[in-house]
Structure 1
Amino acid sequence: MTGQDPTAVEIDTSRPHPARMYDWYLGGKDNYPVDEEMGRQMLALDPRVPVMARVNRAFMHRTTRWLAEQGIRQFLDIGTGIPTEPNLHQIAQRIAPDARVVYCDNDPIVLAHAAALLRSTPEGTTEYLQADVRDPDAILAGAEQILDLDRPVALSLVALLHFIPDEDGAHDLVGRLLAELPSGSHLVMTHATADFTPEESAAATEKLKAAGVTLALRSREEFARFFDGLELIEPGVEIVHRWHPELGEPVPGQDDGVIPGYGAVARKR
């Protein structure tokens, strides 16, 4: 689906990239010195950053498991990131081998690793789409080649929208994607916030901005707006690691303190 040759991909290693920094936080090897350097600067501001990355990953595991158990058989994961097992399709297809999954990202390094994402069960389907969340029409056009958009789809936007400021139309992008999905579809999101660490978050935002990375931290109320008109699944908008923790294992290093990020799942009526 990518229409591109992964071996021809050119990766910019002159400045940090959020996906590669995320990979470094998770202990991966698909990152560069510039990503590690910025990652260490973020650690100096808030040593919980790697835990935050793992908490987001664990949230994706729990929500995917829950959705598959509710009968969802189609998943559209935008902002996939560098593959880290278990991936979303592995979680979904353990419960529903016939699940269909489309991954989407615009990062060249993810494209280079796309083959690792395409190991589907024989009964199901797993595909990768090279596209940007800022171009929802292209995403929908590619997704409908694999997914039946007349049947419910789980739209996953995990740790993504805090890189899209309001002036770039973040809410309109989510609305456009949801508009093409039928009743019974679900929106899955996590989002970083400055609600609990305003000074550290402001410093981190400035450092990333200087490195060419935009960070649009939102309050609980601002995050909740993405779910306007949808039916929030209990417990609603919650601190990421407090969303149904019984569905997964605790993240190493996680305590009962507040991890500065929100997560939620909502159903389209």
Structure 2
Amino acid sequence: MKVAAIQMVSGTALDDNLRVARELLEQAALGGAELAVLPEYFCLMGYKDTDKLALRETAGSGVIQQFLADTARALQMWIVGGTLPMATDAPDRVRNTTLVFDPTGACVARYDKIHLFRFSNGAEQYDEGRVIDAGDTPVQFDLQARSGQRWRVGLSVCYDLRFPELYRAHARAGADLLLVPSAFTHTTGQAHWEVLLRARAVENLAYVMAPAQGGVHANGRHTWGHSMLVDPWGSILAQRDQGAGVVAGELDAQRLSAVRAQLPSLTHRVL
């Protein structure tokens, strides 16, 4: 099955971000992708943490959800909508949410980011918990490819990548593909991005696809990029360093089965 990770350098204007996302998704569809995944915060990288509050949506209603549904239907493609701000009961809080749309435009899965990023090195400081409420539930969904092959897909977002227990839960649930839409900072991405992605693939014997924000944004933030597709042996199949674009690759069910048969480490778990 052909898949695509969409790398963006999202700005502060929703309409501009949706236009770029649509262009890149169309490019992925023309390349034969059956599944395309947008990066974290694809719809907005605001000047302030609170800017995302103005875009918060309720389940089943909103400009961003309509965009994702319409695009999935028009392109006849599965689309994982990176993340968008979903409303909570509190007016000053949102969830950082991944929504999955099938080729009919139906929303078939929702995952609220569990682990919230906080980092300070003196020069940079981030704290997602200022306006985001954490989720608490791992989520998988099943995707049937045009070939008839069924893929179980585990959802995660960015900072989740540092918590292997989440991915082990996906492995226990039978995940074949792990998605990690992200907006890693340049600092942390340069240090840890690749090694973490490859580790999650190797230890869970699964494909990992990680679409990222990659470049210098209008708000001054510099994200690491390096969107990539990693196979279950830890090999990088495709990658893009910086700038908006499509990182395309192919999932091979026979390759996945062969790796799991050769090294059946998931059946050797003791703890």
Identify, as 1 or 2, the structure richer in helix. 1
- Is the strand fraction higher in 1 or 2? 2
